[in-house]
Structure 1
Amino acid sequence: VHGTREDGSRVSLSIHCEQPELIRVFSKRVKQDGTLTGLEAYSASRPTLTEHLAVAEVGVLAGHTRCPINLLHLSSEEALDAALDLKRRHPTLDARLETTLHHLALTYESYNDQRGKVNPPIRAQSDVDALWRGVKRGEIDWVCSDHACCSEENKEGELWQALPGFGGTALIYPFMLTEGSRRGLSFERITALVATNPARAYGLAPRKGAITIGADADLAIVDMDETHPVTTERLLSAQEYTPFEGMELTGWPVRTLLRGRTVFAEGEAVGEPAGAYLKRPLTTEQPLTAP
């Protein structure tokens, strides 16, 4: 970290902020008490305090090393407040904040099904509201799906043994265009949250995350007159379920282009696979080159 900082490179650390020692303490307490069940129990076993303390620890270390940091999948008001406090204490530190679709959409009251087990856990409605305020105020830099497909088989049995995680990449635009627009976010702001800002943070701009001469023609074309409920089939995923099932969303992609080639149209993948390794540079901006 010190070496790359000294030669002008931008190497950032992306950090999952939960404090493991506290998780062990609270998990034991919740299991022994036995009062709470389902995802509320899981949230209580990994409470927002564990996020707060982890963010504070990261702030101390990053403050000393001056290492750029990305605080991933913040799930709660307490975590967001801790992250903003970190930025106030270290105003020149390159610190960027992320949250996820599911932490903006789900609560343990609205979806109390252990297939929604994820780390950090989905929280209370007050946390969802606080995260949306952070998005609207520009405090959160980007929103991701934190896509981690997990088979239904691995979600069965006892809560504590079920694997965490689920998929959501296909919902990034319809969810943000629906819920973000409803909360007053412009299309430009939504695009920044899901494409431009993460591309910049990880050194892939302006080749990625922008519509400009010389950039890759990676485009998602959506129909804002097209509203559908979320179904597992519509997501084209190997995962047999989705915690977003039944949610009415607008702005589904009708065509997707990768470097100018159509790879998705009329509800299905088309053409030959055309993925290409994109080496991440050690600078904040990637030079534009011909595809």
Structure 2
Amino acid sequence: MGKRYDLVIRNGNLVFPDGIKKLDVAVYDGIIAEIAPEIMGSAAETVDAAGKYVFAGATDGHVHFNDPGRTEWETIKTGSSALAAGGGVAYFDMPLNCNPCTLDAKNFQAKLAVAQKESLVDYGFWGGFTPGNLDKLEELAECGVIGFKAFSCFSGIDEFEGADDYTALVGMERLAKLGLPLMVHCENAQLTKKFTELALAQNRTGVRDYFAAHAPITEIESVSRMIAFAEGTGCKLIIAHVSLARSVELVTEARKRGVDVQCETIGHYLILTDEDVERLGTIAKCSPPIRDAQNQAKMWGKLLNGEIDFVSSDHSPCDPKLKNGPFLKVWGGISACQTTLTGLLTHAYRERKVPLTDIAELTSHKVNEIFKIKGKGKIAVGYDGDFALVDLDKQFTLQAEDLFYKHKVSPYVGDSFHGAVVQTILRGTTVFKDGKIVSRPIGKLLRPSF
């Protein structure tokens, strides 16, 4: 007589790092207990995944859920629900735009208290890295942050100050000793500030004026400088939301020299172009800005040859009123955490023949590996029973009412997708199925394992 499991998924096409195999997978007490051609045991719940592809549930390394303090923008409850609807089982929440920002242990605990009650899926927290909190890095590390986030420019939030060169250098020296990474939003502060001031003085506030104020050189220079600091200090560096193929090349060149540096990119840099932004308007404003089609083609090349480490959403919503006004002046951020995986299934797998194994690597395995999250990110015995069941043949047009965000806005509303998440399972428990959230909040804190 076979064993008794909590969950058995039968007949699915399991997406492993090294290939796709039709197998059964069983979960007991939240952990994958068996993978076999035919599992003989019984289960409290059985899922027939015939014809479906079973991915390890996605981990979004870069979201802003704004809880506590700016819940009129987004909440952990709504954000984590949207993430689950997109096949996500975990996220790493940024230290801004919550209020207060996550700059010390007290504010870490305040955010944790909300997540423990409200997060549908698992979560990790970034700690803030600013000129005013260098003496708090150790206490944030003790709290369990997965890393630290800095801006080399204005963050968009007054209470989260950008890091000057002194802060970056001294702070990286400290983080090297702590063994935790620093993720940097790389845009040159002086150039973007001056270009913006000049544009405003001449009443040039359109889409192209914003692009000019955040020209490619502003990112490229900052990436080069942060890599130099990381090389000199031995700090593990992650370049946030790379928008330019040249920035990826700088990371690749540095890695060849032995620098511990990775880069993430975001779905909208792969899916949208500057012309789409002109068409869509402020709903598609983000920083760094979305670039031209020529750069986008090069970015796909970088992704295909493995130079980009992971793909996140940089889900950065706001009160929709903050998107009203001249393009140069409005809030820059895109709501996207529900569409990262389906976007890649459509634009990477369907349109560019990117293997499903690579998509699993970019959305789940690599991000957990980089941040040393033990037991998460792939389908293997001993790992968390986290799965996203995908119908690759299902086509749909995204409607506003499909979104679980607090504000049902996205630049992708009205777009067609090919490949849909039909069920999301976190540690053996179904949290999303057939368009509905079907679980209470069961998320738990993720900490790096050294």
* TM-score, normalised relative to structure 1: 0.89
Matches of 1:80 and 1:255, distance apart in 2? 34
Distance 1:210 1:36, change over 3 A: same
Number of the residue aligned with 1:191 = 360
Structure 1 moving runs of 4+ over 6 Å = none
Q: Whole-Å Cα distance in 1 between the matches of residues 247 and 210 of structure 2?
A: 17
Match of 1:211 among 374, 379, 382: 379
* Equivalent-residue separation in structure 2 for 1:271 and 1:159 (angstroms): 39
Judging changes above 3 Å, is the alpha-carbon distance between structure 1 residues 237 and 68 closer, same or farther for their aligned structure 2 residues? same
| Aligned-pair CA distance for 1:5 | 4.4
Question: Which of 258, 262, 267 is the matching residue for 1:92?
Answer: 258
CA distance in 2, matches of 1:122, 1:24: 19
Secondary structure of 1:159's partner? coil
Q: Which runs of 5+ in 2 are unaligned?
A: 1-171
Calculate percent identity across the aligned residue pairs: 27
Helix, strand or coil at the partner of 1:146 = coil
Query: For residues 174 and 332 of structure 2, what CA distance do their matches in structure 1 show?
Result: 36
Q: What is the match of residue 220 of structure 1?
A: 388
Query: 1:44 is matched with which residue?
Result: 212
Deviations 1:258-278 (A, max 9, x none): 111000011011121111112
Q: How much has 1:68 moved relative to structure 2?
A: 0.9
Whether contact under 8 Å (1:48, 1:79) holds in the other structure is no
1:9-88 to 2 correspondence within 5 Å? 10-32=179-201, 37-38=206-207, 40-88=208-256
Q: Which of 1 and 2 has higher RCO (CA within 8 Å, sep 6+)?
A: 2
How far, CA to CA, are the matches of 2:222 and 2:198 in structure 1? 20
1:24 counterpart letter in structure 2 = K
Q: Which residue does the alignment assign to 1:108?
A: 274
Alpha-carbon distance, 1:134 to partner: 0.6
In the alignment, what sits opposite 1:288? none
Where do 1:171-190 residues align within 5 Å? 171-181=339-349, 182-190=351-359
Q: Relative to structure 1, is the Cα distance of residues 36 and 224 closer, same or farther in structure 2, using a 3 angstrom cutoff?
A: same
String of CA shifts for 1:199-226, please: whole Å, max 9, x gaps.
1111114x11111112111111010111
Supply the AA of the counterpart residue of 1:195.
S
| Offset from partner CA, 1:43-101 (integer Å, 9 cap, x none) | 2111110111101111111111011111110112332233333334xx21211111100
If you compute each CA radius of gyration, which structure gives the higher value, 1 or 2?
2
Distance 1:204 1:174 in 2: 24
**In structure 1, distance between residues paired with 2:274 and 2:199:** 16
Q: 1:5 to 1:155 in 2, by over 3 A?
A: closer
CA displacement 1:221-256 (0-9 Å, x = unmatched)? 010111111222222212232111222112211000
CA–CA distance in 2 between the matches of 1:154 and 1:21? Answer: 24
CA distance in 2: counterparts of 1:46 and 1:200, whole angstroms: 32
Corresponding position of 1:268: 436
CA 1:82–1:25 in structure 2 vs 1: closer, same or farther (change >3 Å)? farther
Q: CA RMSD in A?
A: 1.8
Q: Which has the higher helix share?
A: 1
| 8 A Cα contact 2:273 2:291, kept in partner | yes
> Is contact 1:56-1:86 (8 Å) kept?
no
Alignment partner of 1:148 is 2:295: no
**Partner deviation per Cα, 1:157-214 (whole Å, 9 max, x = no partner):** 2323311112111111111111111212111110000111111111114x11111112
When residues 60 and 135 of structure 1 are mapped into structure 2, their CA distance, relative to the original with a 3 A threshold, is same
The whole-number CA distance in structure 2 between the counterparts of 1:271 and 1:188 is 28
SS in 1 for 2:254: helix
Q: Where do 5+ consecutive residues of structure 1 fail to align? A: 284-291
After TM superposition, the structure 1 stretch with the greater mean CA deviation from structure 2, 65-74 or 29-38, is 29-38
User: 8 Å contact 1:75–1:99 — kept in the other structure?
Assistant: yes
Residue 286 (structure 1) aligns with = none
Measured in 2, the distance between the counterparts of 1:64 and 1:127 equals 30
Q: 1:28: how far off? A: 2.7
Classify 1:5/1:114 alpha carbon distance in 2 versus 1 (closer, same or farther; 3 Å): closer
Q: Distance in 2 between matches of 1:228 and 1:200?
A: 32
- 1:26/1:138 Cα in 2 relative to 1: closer, same or farther (>3 Å)? same
Most deviating of 216-225 and 152-161 = 152-161
The answer as to whether partners of 2:376 and 2:384 remain within 8 angstroms in 1 is yes
